[in-house]
Structure 1
Amino acid sequence: MDSHENIKTISIPVLGMTCAGCAVSVESMIGAQEGVKQAAVNYATQKVSVTYDQEATKPENFQKAVQSVGYDLILDTEKGDELQEEVQAGAYNSLKKRTIISGILALPVVMIGMFFMDMPYANYMMMVLTAPIVFYFGKSFFINAYKQAQHSKANMDTLVALSTGIAFLFSLFNTFFPEFWHHRGLHPHVYYEAAAVVIVFIMLGKLLEERAKSNTSSAIKKLIGLQPKTVLLITDQGEKEISIADVKRGDQILVRSGEKIAVDGKVYEGSSYVDESMITGEPVAILKREADKVFAGTINQKGSFRFIAEKVGSETMLAQIIKLVQEAQGSKAPVQKLVDKIAGIFVPIVMLIAVVTLGVWLLLGGENAFSQGMLAMVTVLVIACPCALGLATPTAIMVGIGRGAENGILIKDADALESGYKVDAIVLDKTGTITEGKPEVTELIWVEGPAAALALYKQIFLAMEQNSEHPLAAAIVDELKKQSITAALITNFESLTGKGVSADYDSQLYWAGSHKLLSGQTISSELEQRAQSLQAKAQTVIYFFDESRVLAVAAIADKIKQASKSAVAALQKQGITVYMLTGDNQQTAAAVAGEVGIDRFQAEVLPSDKADFIKQLQSEGKVVAMIGDGINDSQALAQANLSIAMGRGSDIAIDVAKITLMSSDLEQVPKALLLSKKTVQTIRQNLFWAFIYNLIGIPIAAGLLYPFNGFLLNPMIAGAAMALSSVSVVSNSLRLKFASLIS
């Protein structure tokens, strides 16, 4: 066997990652295994992609490697995603319970430590309440820190474990042996409240972060759900129901009315209208006849037909959409990576400063060198605890998401907020985004005549359209019913495939359909002129006529939303280039683009074409936002730097998109981009507040001022400063609630 054939790439769900530093640890542990060519962890999707030599190693070795540093892999290829979801949901619920209980226990500790420290047995009460917070509810910090230390690694868990562990043990010593300090002229302070509050704040930060990055895999599950589980296979013995997994190329398959098409193929018998909106995005169903192609996931309407399977399994267009969505989602990183990069440098530096602080005190501290050195070391670790750092991003995200929701802007995660303010190109889908996404009668023009005759014509027209299977018929039915018309009793109704319908009423023959049906019927010059004008605007024209003349002309179109033109103008005013992509024909696309003021557009594009167009813009250095509403937009939405879905669009589009406009109003897009900018500014300000206390406090905590004025920072004050940094971060995030979203 050729060595190249032994190389395999697999995607494995990872459990236990809480920061980008964790992702680096997992990558390095797997990458160090013999036979591994490449290991790449995607923190957003919580998966690792491994390219390895099958003869040199196996996935079980990867699992052992990551387990040694406190993480785990799910190797079940069939149910891996489901198991990962279950484990993550369980971990989230467990963290939520631990945070709530820890908070309840920490409250009396803080009250006693701050206001009632002189009450009898105060230290013992705080000790009893703090011990379960630190060593039971917060035990994961210590376990993870120990596993990291075994491999000479450190992360934020290391700093949390050190600061809280030392603070608790130091307080424990002072509780039982206060005389040690009394003999040296020092008061035996305890810092139980600092240890308890640190644990609670860090767990709260992790909880908020988990909420912000939830629901990452449901879009793929919904796409997969578009495929039916079984199909009707046509055999020599008759029809046979088989699993979709057993369908092979060349199989003959029957599709009945209302069923989903299972695989890609070609019709060889029968005809029907098929809803292909998940492929084209267009609301009008397509007539499928012999030799026409059909696609997996599309929905057959009223008729039935037989087709030959041509592409099955991973070859189908739906499977390709699923694959492209997965790849595009997997290529993104959250804003939290900035915080984790800083933390990766911050943690070892703080640990080094704490050790150096103790060492310097032992060398130069004089009579009380050890006691004051210990105090200084604990103070450094307490004041440097990364609580505010853990809250900096998720609090801003949560407030930003809430602010957006108040304005009808549903923001899914931090990535949207990181990308939004950088956008300089926006790609709009036409149907359902610029337009309403539903065919409606724009004009219904009747010949002049007696009121009674016109009333009868309307009843006949309604009856014929009610019997028609054509998708546009529903628009005419809706329009006539708005006028309180009732259907006449027609006979000999006939569907004329690809042209229209005909029927008898009172021995008189009537037709309704396209221009192809007109053959010598008289049409008034006014009606003809109006029909030509409507067709020039890319509207579909339906003619209603009898044996002698045209009685009515109905124009049907997907109406442009009221706010579309002003929204496009507002985006262009911000310096953003606006593009329109649609699966519709060139004439319709040009008419819509011209009406809303878009100069750059492409027509008759497929889902992969949309994604490729966005890739092209990105290769030119543009930061691209995609706005769409259909399943056909899902891979383009996933490919874009920022994806925005219409709230009335498909579940898949909404699920893939990072931002959803709940009102489907394009004027919300400029607001969403401004909210993104202000949220990112808030996150950066939060990071400043998270560090400013450390930059000022750590040197003072280490004893920098002691040689000059004898000042040594009390760990109690250090704990207060740490809490103050967290309050500053949360308060700054809350300012977003009152930020203006009008540029």
Structure 2
Amino acid sequence: MPTATTLTLKLENLSCASCVGRAERALTAIDGVESAPVNLANETARVAFSTPATASNLTEALDRAGYPARRETVVLDVGSMTCASCVGRVERVLTATPGVLEAWVNLASERAFVTYLAGAVSPDELAAKVTKAGFPTHLRNAAASNGPGDKDAEARSLKQKALLAAALTLPVFILEMGGHLYPPFHHWIARTIGLGTSHWIQLVLTTIVMVGPGRVFFSKGVPALLRGAPEMNALVALGTSAAYLYSVVSVLAPGILPSGTANVYFEAAAVIIVLILIGRWMEARAKGRTGEAIRALVALAPNDALVDVDGQTVTRPVAQVVTGEVVVIRPGERVPLDGEVIEGESLIDESMITGEPVPVPKTTGDTVTGGTVNGTGALKARVTAVGPDTLLSQIVRMVEDAQGARLPIQALVDRITAVFVPIVMGIAALTVAIWLLIGPDPALGLALVAGVSVLIIACPCAMGLATPTSIMVGTGRAAQLGALFRRGDALQSLQSAQVVAFDKTGTLTQGRSELTAFETAGDLDADMVLAMVAGAEAHSEHPLAQAILRGAEDRGLAPAKAGNVQTVTGFGLQAEVDGAHLLVGSQKFMERENIPMTDLVGRADPMRAKGHTVFFVAIDGELAALIGVSDPIKPDTAPALAALRAMGKQLAMITGDDPATAAAIADQLGIDHVNAGVLPDGKVAAVEALQARYGKVAFVGDGINDAPALARADVGLAIGTGTDVAIEAADVVLSSGALSGVANAFEISRRTMINIRQNLFWAFGYNVLLIPVAAGVLYPLWGILLSPMLGAGAMAASSVLVLTNALRLRFVRPILEEAA
């Protein structure tokens, strides 16, 4: 009978004895649960179970019953991981821990993201288990530098080791390989110091290399072998040890080897260590650059702030500033924290948040964001957010979460690497056996060379780095371009979306009505009439009235004085302005008041066709003016849609606005599908209909009513200037209100997935092609047997190549800028 596992779960929604009973019944109904007493006082369930019951079964049953077990997520910094096999080992240790629901390890950032049941296990216990498995682990310090761990110190250490190993290895290489490259050199060594002395020198220097700079491979690889979990270090340790020990026997006891096989391979063992150390040095340098985007964002936050204390300016660390305090922002300085301007005017460069290069004017009442750059004016701002609540901190968290995601394409890598190293060791053993059985003389030496080459060349470093490095660099670059991926797997889903659907108001358009047309009858003065209308509309709070007032203000007109203003519900308003009787309203209003219709009515139809709301002005019983008010299309909407259309995407509009206006906007923008006049649930139905017809759908919106559609779409993109509800429901947040961010997000997604596929092709193709070559399949035909040294160089180069390829994503340009 299987041993029972006991978990203590923290439950939610427990309020009475009936709740306790229902929770207990839900748990005990699962096959394999032996007991599940629930404690109402401390809101816990102590469950004893064995197979077939699992932690996932328990949580699903509690979810259905309405008393979910509390889940928590922790991020662990994991050291000593060098390849995909290490990643698999760490994940298996974590997922095998009772109470852990999910664990995902990112080799590039050297972090583990673990979701576990609160009360069942603690973060410290998780870290201890991974450390015991051979990978030093500690809880991530939230205050530490974001992005991958600082690689500078590691790169410096590896550089020192690589240079020392190279200095010691160079004489070994010259002594042994010099004669192969230049035969007279071999005879000169034999005549001077002698071959025996040469071999002893090689033995001493190689021993120093292996116990000095190369010790890391044995201190990590041998324990991994003993645990039955071999990884890259184990392969290197096996390969170099085989070459080294065979050479030692050839020097110290050549008689025990078959005649003619007492050869030395010290140079192979030493050069392998040098090349792999150089590869790791270059890898550490490249890894350090994968997180530059995040570290650049973190570096934007100033360390100190100027705080106004009773009229005196005091310098204080940003960490000590609290909300409600007033900070002084001098010209040219970075804004220390999020706040609201209470004094002064200036232009703020917000490009690091929005990706838009044009400075934004700020005055009293406007908000400023920590990390942005003040222009030439001085400002005072009241702090509204500090620490993790600032927009910059939230952006960093979003990017980090995306970088820690597991893409669906990663599943293929995981399945292969789970069995890769044991298979390679088996291939190496089979290679040696075949060479010993059918190989030409000296079969033992050739078998050793082939076996070591297989072990060295097959290290799966590149496999483990292929996907996470591209994700890290791609999401970091996307953040710099104003597209924040809240979920990393949206990177893969977005580029495969067939349809991009948009909300209209606030997404395709400005979201605020503006005066877009004003035409007068005959030779009436347009400014005079507009001033009269503005005077009357100044008494109204209607959005259309506010649009007219803004239009008059933009033209530098002061509203005329109006009296006896009366609203006629459903039609318009009337007023007395400068002694004249003024009517402002719809065509029906004019007809009701018996105003003679003129050619102005004919001019209204083209405006309506463009989506304008049209109404008329009558002065003293005569039709005087035609007014057009609309929600203007954003300046970058048309270029963004054109870019998406060029990518082969279908375009759709899903809006609550009236069908005529929606059709007019869609016609202007060349949108293929229109669903208008729909409520929030209608938007969800429209998204589902597009999914059924075309496949994956991306939805772009900004309002509360867009949240259900954002959540239902395969990928939801929220305009960053929209509501918090919409942003929380989205997978991607566009930090500016510009739709160019949509096109840029698609481009980053496309380029990142291409980059990942290139990396995986290289990582897998490298092993598929070179393992047979290392085993010696070319030897019978052309006498080619791959040297272990070349194998080590190729293996190191593969990891550096994958990292370098991923780093190219740092230079992806905004697609609209490229199109321009």
TM-score, with structure 1 as normaliser: 0.62
AA aligned opposite 2:593: G
| Cα distance, 1:720 vs structure 2 | 1.3
Question: What is residue 593 of structure 2 aligned with on the other side?
Answer: 520
CA shift digits 1:464-488 (9 cap, x unpaired):
5456433334432332233332344
Contact 1:502 1:512 in 2 (8 A): yes
Contact 2:84 2:464 in 1 (8 A): no
AA aligned opposite 1:68: K
1:579 to 652, 656, 667: 652
Q: Is the radius of gyration larger for structure 1 or structure 2?
A: 2
Percentage identity across aligned positions?
32
Quick one: distance in 2 between partners of 1:129 and 1:498? Answer: 89
Contact 2:127 2:139 in 1 (8 A): no
AA aligned opposite 2:500: I
| Cα distance, 1:390 vs structure 2 | 3.5
Quick one: distance in 2 between partners of 1:383 and 1:90? Answer: 35
| Cα distance, 1:582 vs structure 2 | 1.0
AA aligned opposite 1:94: G
| Cα distance, 1:100 vs structure 2 | 3.8
| Cα distance, 1:597 vs structure 2 | 4.1
Quick one: distance in 2 between partners of 1:181 and 1:474? Answer: 99
Quick one: distance in 1 between partners of 2:132 and 2:691? Answer: 35
Query: Residues 195, 727 of structure 1: CA spacing in aligned structure 2 closer, same or farther, 3 A cutoff?
Result: closer
Query: Residues 395, 533 of structure 1: CA spacing in aligned structure 2 closer, same or farther, 3 A cutoff?
Result: same
| Cα distance, 1:96 vs structure 2 | 3.4
1:188 to 266, 287, 291: 266
Quick one: distance in 2 between partners of 1:472 and 1:84? Answer: 56
Quick one: distance in 2 between partners of 1:94 and 1:462? Answer: 61
Contact 2:407 2:488 in 1 (8 A): no
Quick one: distance in 2 between partners of 1:211 and 1:464? Answer: 57
Quick one: distance in 1 between partners of 2:157 and 2:726? Answer: 39
Contact 2:687 2:712 in 1 (8 A): yes
Question: What is residue 628 of structure 2 aligned with on the other side?
Answer: 555
Quick one: distance in 1 between partners of 2:206 and 2:638? Answer: 68
1:697-708 pair list within 5 angstroms: 697-702=770-775
Quick one: distance in 2 between partners of 1:110 and 1:502? Answer: 92
SS of 2:213's equivalent?
helix
1:626 to 696, 699, 724: 699
Query: Residues 20, 399 of structure 1: CA spacing in aligned structure 2 closer, same or farther, 3 A cutoff?
Result: closer
Question: What is residue 522 of structure 2 aligned with on the other side?
Answer: 448
2:464 to 382, 387, 390: 390
Query: Residues 476, 129 of structure 1: CA spacing in aligned structure 2 closer, same or farther, 3 A cutoff?
Result: farther
CA shift digits 1:174-222 (9 cap, x unpaired):
999995599943142213323423544665676677789999xxxxxxx
Question: What is residue 163 of structure 2 aligned with on the other side?
Answer: 108
Quick one: distance in 1 between partners of 2:715 and 2:71? Answer: 24
Query: Residues 706, 593 of structure 1: CA spacing in aligned structure 2 closer, same or farther, 3 A cutoff?
Result: closer
Contact 1:105 1:129 in 2 (8 A): no
CA shift digits 1:367-395 (9 cap, x unpaired):
99888766655433321122332343356
Query: Residues 28, 164 of structure 1: CA spacing in aligned structure 2 closer, same or farther, 3 A cutoff?
Result: closer
AA aligned opposite 1:698: I
- Asked if 1:197 corresponds to 2:292, the answer is no
Quick one: distance in 2 between partners of 1:402 and 1:499? Answer: 53
SS of 1:343's equivalent?
helix
SS of 2:632's equivalent?
strand
Question: What is residue 543 of structure 2 aligned with on the other side?
Answer: 471
AA aligned opposite 1:390: G
Quick one: distance in 1 between partners of 2:221 and 2:277? Answer: 14
| Cα distance, 1:350 vs structure 2 | 1.9
- Asked if 1:480 corresponds to 2:552, the answer is yes
AA aligned opposite 2:613: T
Question: What is residue 94 of structure 1 aligned with on the other side?
Answer: 149
CA shift digits 1:108-159 (9 cap, x unpaired):
3586478676699976996698369769xxx9x779x85x985x6x5xxx42
Quick one: distance in 2 between partners of 1:342 and 1:88? Answer: 36
Query: Residues 577, 696 of structure 1: CA spacing in aligned structure 2 closer, same or farther, 3 A cutoff?
Result: closer
**Could you tell which deviates more after superposition, 39-48 or 614-623?**
39-48
Question: What is residue 213 of structure 2 aligned with on the other side?
Answer: 130
- Asked if 1:337 corresponds to 2:337, the answer is no
**Could you tell which deviates more after superposition, 504-513 or 335-344?**
504-513
Contact 1:40 1:50 in 2 (8 A): yes
Quick one: distance in 1 between partners of 2:139 and 2:519? Answer: 60
Question: What is residue 684 of structure 1 aligned with on the other side?
Answer: 757
Quick one: distance in 1 between partners of 2:782 and 2:528? Answer: 103
| Cα distance, 1:443 vs structure 2 | 1.0
**Any stretches of 5+ residues in structure 1 without a counterpart?**
52-56, 73-82, 216-327
Question: What is residue 313 of structure 1 aligned with on the other side?
Answer: none
SS of 2:678's equivalent?
coil
Contact 2:595 2:621 in 1 (8 A): yes
AA aligned opposite 1:481: E
Query: Residues 24, 109 of structure 1: CA spacing in aligned structure 2 closer, same or farther, 3 A cutoff?
Result: closer
SS of 2:626's equivalent?
strand
Contact 1:208 1:394 in 2 (8 A): no
2:232 to 160, 182, 186: 160
Question: What is residue 713 of structure 2 aligned with on the other side?
Answer: 640
Quick one: distance in 2 between partners of 1:23 and 1:390? Answer: 7
Contact 2:503 2:655 in 1 (8 A): yes
SS of 2:628's equivalent?
strand
CA shift digits 1:199-258 (9 cap, x unpaired):
44665676677789999xxxxxxxxxxxxxxxxxxxxxxxxxxxxxxxxxxxxxxxxxxx
2:530 to 458, 475, 487: 458
Quick one: distance in 2 between partners of 1:192 and 1:20? Answer: 20
Question: What is residue 308 of structure 2 aligned with on the other side?
Answer: none
CA shift digits 1:321-342 (9 cap, x unpaired):
xxxxxxx999984543333333
Question: What is residue 60 of structure 1 aligned with on the other side?
Answer: 121
Question: What is residue 225 of structure 1 aligned with on the other side?
Answer: none
CA shift digits 1:615-658 (9 cap, x unpaired):
45445671223234556545534543344566876788678454
| Cα distance, 1:602 vs structure 2 | 1.7
Quick one: distance in 2 between partners of 1:42 and 1:122? Answer: 42
| Cα distance, 1:668 vs structure 2 | 7.5
**Could you tell which deviates more after superposition, 579-588 or 434-443?**
434-443
- Asked if 1:424 corresponds to 2:507, the answer is no
Question: What RMSD over aligned residues (CA atoms) do the two structures have, in Å?
Answer: 5.8
AA aligned opposite 2:278: V
Quick one: distance in 2 between partners of 1:28 and 1:463? Answer: 73
1:300-379 pair list within 5 angstroms: 333-357=407-431, 377-379=451-453
**Could you tell which deviates more after superposition, 602-611 or 24-33?**
24-33
Query: Residues 421, 525 of structure 1: CA spacing in aligned structure 2 closer, same or farther, 3 A cutoff?
Result: same
AA aligned opposite 2:71: S
Query: Residues 173, 33 of structure 1: CA spacing in aligned structure 2 closer, same or farther, 3 A cutoff?
Result: closer
AA aligned opposite 2:413: V
AA aligned opposite 1:13: T
**Could you tell which deviates more after superposition, 624-633 or 552-561?**
624-633
Quick one: distance in 1 between partners of 2:549 and 2:593? Answer: 27
Contact 1:134 1:199 in 2 (8 A): no
Quick one: distance in 2 between partners of 1:101 and 1:647? Answer: 41
Quick one: distance in 1 between partners of 2:405 and 2:476? Answer: 27
| Cα distance, 1:520 vs structure 2 | 1.9
Quick one: distance in 2 between partners of 1:340 and 1:471? Answer: 56
Query: Residues 570, 707 of structure 1: CA spacing in aligned structure 2 closer, same or farther, 3 A cutoff?
Result: closer
AA aligned opposite 1:345: V
AA aligned opposite 2:160: L
Query: Residues 495, 688 of structure 1: CA spacing in aligned structure 2 closer, same or farther, 3 A cutoff?
Result: same
